[in-house]
Amino acid sequence: MKNLKYWLGLTLMGWASHAFAQSETDALRYSQLQFGGTSRTLGIGGANVAVGADLGNLVSNPAGLGLFQQSEVSFTPGLNIGNTTTSGIGAQLSDSRNGLQIGSLGAVFVNRRPDDDNTSDWRAGAFAVGLNRINDFNTSFRYSGTVQDNQSFFQRLREPRLLNGSLPQTLDDIINQDNTGNYLDLEGLAYGAYLTNIQDNGPGTAEQIVTVPRSGPITQQETVVNEGSQTQFDFGYGASYRDKIYIGGAIGIVSTRFIQTREFIELGTDPSSGVSLTLRDNLETRGNGFNARLGGIYRPNDQVRVGLSVQTPTFMQLDDTYSTSLTTQFTPPVEFVNENGQVIDRISDGSASTSGEFSYRLTTPFRASGGVAVLIGKYGFLSGDLEYVNYPSARLRDDSDTGLSGSFSSQNDAITALYRSTVNVRIGGEARYNAFRFRLGYARYGSPYEGSGQDGSQNYFTGGLGIRQNRFFLDLAGVYNTGNQYYRAYTLNSGNEPVITVDANRFTTSITAGITF
């Protein structure tokens, strides 16, 4: 119960109110990464911390670069097929979103001493550059159903929350416009579209927000479309000491692009007091960041390898561009009366909009990974990884370079209260027969939520095939990912707002073509 006030503000969750503020959900979105890399890495469930000799090691453990015997270059295009099914209000609805992607692109350049050269214990070194997709935001879902008035968007408007956290006391507090006439928050939009007003309850009595009259069943429907990805450009170096100890380091530059479009509709079906509204929101986030990682692999014998890698937080600069509009229709028209009861205006529809830009910074969590690989002679290997991610350590802060001021203390408190550290588990294996490779893997990424009663874990089932022929190799992989998301278009003080469960799955196919030299 101690975290209830934060769960009420969780913005996986729609207009709680992203168009006007950055939130703990932004921190999680850019911190909860997916394993990526070549089709070989994908086929074994991402469990390559101790395996080595794969360009995926740039992201997981750069020490693995020291195990390369030859230089190589590879390219990995892929196809995403994503599906969602929603439940919570009304009937289950399905949606899908598909797209092409570049999963990996890179090259490694190896300098290895001949086996009969004993002039140094440092046997080899490898420099690598690569581009890897570490996050995919492409998804869409929709829902439709009926709610009660005390669960509706109108109830949200009766619970005003201004930017400074205080309740409105005057009409100017509701209007809340900047110098350009833009409304600054949801309260202003509702006033501008004639949905709300301030009611004077007499001397000595606090004014209150009132909404236009409405009765009868209330239908809600919404469509949410997300686009974009995070791509990491890495360059790293790995070295081999006596072919027993391998060490490496890498620096990553992260490019982020996220676009979200939402259309929320609430319909009043009573012909004597029908009110219909449409709330449209468009958000585009772009930014860059950097991180670094160090790793090591120890090979006590020819059969066993033990790996360890740590990654610094990613320090990101993000820029939001947003626009939000609210349009309304009233049946019959709303009548405005003066203090003498005389009708001074009739409104059949209304609209209000806002737009703007905002820059801020995000520090994502520290990560640490450990893994073990067991080689079964020339027949293949088995591997397993554990990855620790400290989600509560993510932090939002102002972009001091823009001169903007503001406090993210409430959002950072919410990050600490809502999220927890978690361990991701990845296991996989490869079987070899002559030039052919057969791969299977599984990964479970733990839920980042603290005591919410909502399971945010994800499961990945992977498989792949490969062939090695002379100086050419070709690998094919498939990754099936399942997991639930929990969505709220808005939040209420009572916690009685509709909660939409989004059952999402995604199948990703990729093919890696490469040459060695």
For 44-79, write each residue's pLDDT tens digit: 999 999 999 999 999 999 999 999 999 999 999 999
Contact in structure between 383 and 47 (CB atoms under 8 Å): yes
- pLDDT value of position 201: 64
Whether 64 and 307 have beta carbons less than 8 Å apart is answered as: yes
Q: Give the containing element (helix H, strand E) for 146.
A: strand 139-147
In tens, the pLDDT along 8-17 reads 334 344 554 4
Q: What's the whole-number mean pLDDT along residues 83-93?
A: 91
Average pLDDT of the residues of the chain: 87
| Nearest alpha-carbon partner for 264 in 190, 346, 213, 356 | 190
What is d(CA 437, CA 430) in angstroms, rounded to the nearest whole number?
7
- Closest by Cα among 414, 349, 376, 313 to 195: 349
- Beta-bridge mates of residue 389: 367, 422
Q: How far apart are CA 312 and CA 293, in angstroms?
A: 6
Query: What ranges in 30-138 are assigned the alpha helix state H?
Result: 39-43, 57-60
**Residue 172 contacts by C-beta under 8 Å, 6 or more apart in sequence?**
none
Strand locations in 364-457 (E): 367-375, 380-390, 395-398, 421-433, 436-445
| φ/ψ bin of 333: left (φ > 0), alpha (ψ from -120 to 50), beta (otherwise) | beta
CB distance 245 to 267 below 8 Å: no
The predicted structure's pLDDT at residue 56: 93
Cβ 208 vs Cβ 198: under 8 Å: yes
Residue type, 130: G
**pLDDT category, 246, cuts 50, 70, 90?**
very high
Residue with more model confidence, 41 or 115: 41
Q: Which two tokens stand for residue 10?
A: 């969780």
331-347 tens-digit pLDDT: 877 776 666 666 666 77
pLDDT value of residue 406: 53
Instruction: Look at the pTM and tell me if it is higher than 0.85.
Output: yes
pLDDT of residue 377 exceeding 50, the answer is yes
Rg (Cα) of the chain, in Å, rounded? 27
Confidence of residue 81 (pLDDT cuts 50, 70, 90): very high
- The string of pLDDT tens digits covering residues 147-181 is 988 899 988 888 866 545 455 555 565 666 666 66
Positive or negative CA dihedral for 387, 391, 397, 399? Answer: positive
Query: What gap in Å lies between CA 511 and CA 36, rounded to an integer?
Result: 13
